Each structure stands twice: as C-alpha cells, then as structure tokens.
Structure 1
Amino acid sequence: MIYGSHVSIRNGYLGAAKQAVANGASAFQYFPKNPRSLSIKDFDHEDAKNCNEFCQNHQLQSIAHTPYSTSLTPSEDKQDLTIASLLNDLQIANACGSIGVVVHYGSQISLTDPLASYHLMLAMLNGVLSQWDGNCLILLENNAGTKGALGTTFEELVQIRNLCEYPDKIGFCLDTCHAFASGLWTGKNSGELLEKGESLGYFAELKAIHLNNSKYPTGSKKDRHANIFHTNGLIQAHQIKELITSPVFKGIPLVLETPDDEGLSHREEIEMLKQKWGE
C-alpha cells in the first residue's frame, strides 16, 4: 500500500518531498505553481532536480495537480493560455520525477450540441500533447458531476483517451469522493465497478488514486471531502477498504486530499491507514 497526501511547496519541491517523508508517506501530491493562476512559472530547475533525486533515493512517488482554474473546456480566449499552462505543469512535474499531472475532466459547454465539450477536450489535449515528449503523463480525473461536469463514467474517460491522437501520454486518476458523489460508486457496488473498469481498460491506465471520503451521500453530485475514518464521512471504512485493496490497485499511490484542519493531520491519517490496512 502506497499512502500519501497533498503537501505544500512553500519550501520548494525538495521541501515538499521531505515533508512527505516526515508525514510517513511513500507518495505525495503537490501544485507545481500557484494553484489559483494559469501564469507560467519560471521554476527552479535545481530544486526540481534535487526533488527528483530525493524521491528516487527514498522510493517516493509523486503526482502534480494543475491549478484550480485549469479546464479542458475553457472559453476561447483562454485556450492558448491553458495549453501553455499545462505544458508548464508537465515540464515542472517531469523535472521533479512525477508520474503525471492531474487535470479534471471537462464540463458541458453547449446545451444544443452534446458533443461540443468532447470535441474541445480532444483539441486541447492534442494541442498540449503534440508539443510534449517527456515521461510525465496527463492524468484525467473523474468528476463529481457538479454544475454539468462531464467525466463521471469510465466510458467517457476511456473514450477520450482512445480518441486522442496521443493516448500513450494519458493516464487516469480515480477520486473516490468524486466517484461516490457522482453515483459511479455507491459504496455497495465495488464488485460491479471493478468489473466494468477492467472490461473497459480503465484500470490498465490508472496511475493514481485520490483517497477521499465524502461529506455528502452518493449521487448528490456535491464534492466535499471528508477524512477516511471520520464520523462525518458517509463512505464506510470497510467499503473504502474493499475497493482500494483490490488487486487491480496494487502498486498505485493512494493520495489523501482530506481535510487536515478538522482534528486530524495527514501524518496522523497516514499512520491510521497503515495500522488498519497495512503498509
């Protein structure tokens, strides 16, 4: 079991990796730059290199997450900026030795043309990946279904990857809270979910898991994360365990995006995961 959490880069990329180790983690996630901006970052290459070497020496895996404002279905005036920003994220994450950069699946942009969003997503992905030759992947994350968001089914996620001109440069990141909120996973249909994911080839390209509980019920389409073992989490611990201990998830990093200011730190939560479900 490879446990980790999101960490800050306030002390640089190497500092983030060191914080992950201090948390008892064997994986971590970070924002490669300001999480509230698409601006291009002239990053510290030496710091990124040191982070990469540190992670190799400590058998530490990492993923990056695009800024909040990143969208694969942006307005026309932000398309070029979004492509440049995603390339910048990939460059930073690649220098840090990360598996990939997580980006949310797109949202509905037309009430009259249901395919418009998918066409734009493909254009955006092709625009980025045609310029990218690094090892770092784009990791498409499933959505919770909020505000007309697409990407709540395995079929959508797999099909976009298949239709992209560069499928080998795309992987997936499964968010357990989003899956629960969208109704993809109810907590009681893990067997069915695993069978579908395997049959569609989704799990073959799964590179990371956002390990989150949910504050709202399944099918609510509300994206509010809760701690794994907290009483306000509506996914029962044994349901989460049943899913993530499946053999198809072996060796895939489980990264917490849970609250660390509601009475439980990520360090404590990682220790609880190890004690309850094994290292």
Structure 2
Amino acid sequence: MIGWGRMLFGCHLSIREGYLGAAKAAEKMNASAYQYFPKNPRSLTVKDFDQEDARLCRDFCEEHGIFSIAHTPYPTSLTPHPEKQDLTINSLLNDLDIANCCGSAGVVVHFGSPISSRDPLAGYHLMIEMLNKVLRQWDGPCLILLENTAGHPGTMGTIIEELVQVRSLCDYPDKIGFCLDTCHAFASDLWNGDNLEEFLQKGEELNYFEHLKAIHFNNSKYPAGSGKDRHANIFNTGHITEKQFDEFVKAEPFKKLPFILETPSDEGIKHADEVALLIKKWVNSTDVI
C-alpha cells in the first residue's frame, strides 16, 4: 500500500482549466488527493493532450504532496462488444499515458459485466484478455486500478475474491491495483457497515489490501445489499452512518490511503465544504491515531 504517513482527503475535480488547473483547485481547497477524467468523460476518442500542462501538474503535485488518480471515461468497459475492443484498448492506453504524465498513481477502471447467460465465466475471460492486450503495450509506473461494482450480491465484481483472482490470472499483475468504492461495497453487501472485521479479515487473507491504492469515499442513498449505485454525501444524507464511516476510516489498512469523494455537489453541500468537514473530523481531530 501507499505509505504517505498521513490521512489524505479530496474529491473528483474537473480538468476544464487543464491538468495543472485541477491540481491547483485541489490545493486551493486544502485537499491532499483528487481524481479527474483524463479526457472527455463521454467519449473513447484518443486525446492529443498537452504534455507540458501534464508535466506541470505532476511537478505541482510533487511540490505540494498531492496524490491523484484518473478515472476512465463512462463508455469504458473491460467486457466490450467485439467491434469496440480496439477502440477501448487504445482509449485505455491513452488514459494511462495522460495519467502517467500527470504523475498519477493509476487509472480507475470499472470491473466487467456478464456477456453470456450460458457461460458465466465468459465475462472474466474477456476481462483478462482485454487487460493483457492493454498492459502488454504499457510500461509506465501508472497502474490500472480495478474498482468493485455495486450490483446485487452475485453480480460480477462485488466480492474480493473476483478482484484478486482476475489480477492474479493476468499476465501482468504488477501493473494492476485496486480502488475500493464504499458505496459500491455497501450496495453489494461486501461491507454493510456492520461486518468490518469480517471484511478486513477477508481482505488480509486474500492479500487485497497490499494492492489497494485509493478509496472512493461515498455514502449510499439506498440500504446495504440494494444493488443500487446511487452516491450520497458522507454526513447526514445516506444509509452509512457516521459511526460506521469512523470505524472504517480508522481501520489499519485504510489509515494512509487517499479517500476521494464522488459525492453530489449540488445537494446542500459543495465538495470544498465536504472536504473541509472530512479534514476537520479525521485529520485535525485529536482522536485520530
């Protein structure tokens, strides 16, 4: 795991003002981590990006001790239809190139989905094939970060075993890490707020936490096990309680990992204010170990 020696909090930020602009926006709100889309979030088109802007972003983050990750565009799928496979591979390589130039630790990619009702393993086989095709062409330090999904229990990508197994079966496991989404974990019953010890034990046994690089820090608008991916703000509005989050944040595997909000910014609290609340509670609080 990343050893930052301190707790990191931040949120998803726009690159409307460029990659350096996003980093400066993080610093302005006193965030120590952030996430961004490396290009148009609704397109897989390869972007001819401003490399100087990306390098300035990297230098700024290094100077200010800011952690960053990128997130693939919405259409990205590790189980795409055959006609979109080459487009997806080229897009992922482009995302990795941009994120690497920005000094980011990795690019978050959603776990795949079933592609055959007759063969439940077909989706996993295609995921591994796609990852191998991408990573065969990638030599940078920036990782692909597989994210757990928010489906009902039994849906692809909802349990630690799947994430770990897909990574281990790839030809390039050292180029793959994980990103844990708390809303997704809650929705899929992986972590339901009351089974933290069981969740921690399972993650330790399967060596999941060693490769966990970031946490998407989101509350859930629906109860545990709902299978619904609807993010809520951390405090007061979701089904995950403040006590449950407090136990989670202070758990040993997560103490030095970046917590990055993907919460609504138009439902009563702005991201800058929400980040400030997180810092006040878990960075400036005297009861944080």
TM-score with structure 2 length normalisation?
0.94
1:107–1:148 CA contact under 8 A, matched in 2:
no
Segments of 5+ residues of structure 2 without an aligned counterpart are 1-6, 285-289
1:163 corresponds to which letter in structure 2?
L
When structure 1 is superposed on structure 2, of 181-190 and 148-157 the one drifting more is: 148-157
2:236 corresponds to 1:236? no
- Cross-structure match for 1:102: 108
Identify which of 107, 121, 126 aligns with 1:115: 121
- Cross-structure match for 1:133: 139
2:221–2:230 CA contact under 8 A, matched in 1:
yes
By how many angstroms is 1:252 displaced? Answer: 1.0
Which stretches of structure 1, 4 residues or longer, exceed 6 Å deviation after superposition? none
Task: Sort the Cα spacing of 1:186 and 1:146 in 2 relative to 1 into closer, same or farther, 3 A.
Answer: closer
2:77 aligns to what SS in structure 1? coil
Percent identity over the alignment is 66
- Cross-structure match for 2:63: 57
2:153–2:189 CA contact under 8 A, matched in 1:
no
1:250 corresponds to which letter in structure 2?
K
- Cross-structure match for 2:270: 265
Distance 1:26 1:146 in 2: 33
Q: Per-residue CA shift, 1:121-177, capped at 9, x if unaligned? A: 000000000000001000000000169851000000000000000000000000000
Distance 1:252 1:99 in 2: 12
- Cross-structure match for 1:275: 280
- Cross-structure match for 2:189: 183
Q: How many residues align?
A: 278
CA RMSD, Structure 1 to Structure 2 (Å)? 1.2
Structural mapping, 1:14-25, within 5 Å: 14-25=20-31
Task: Sort the Cα spacing of 1:149 and 1:107 in 2 relative to 1 into closer, same or farther, 3 A.
Answer: farther
Structural mapping, 1:13-92, within 5 Å: 13-92=19-98
TM-score with structure 1 length normalisation?
0.98
2:210 corresponds to which letter in structure 1?
A
Distance 1:142 1:194 in 2: 15
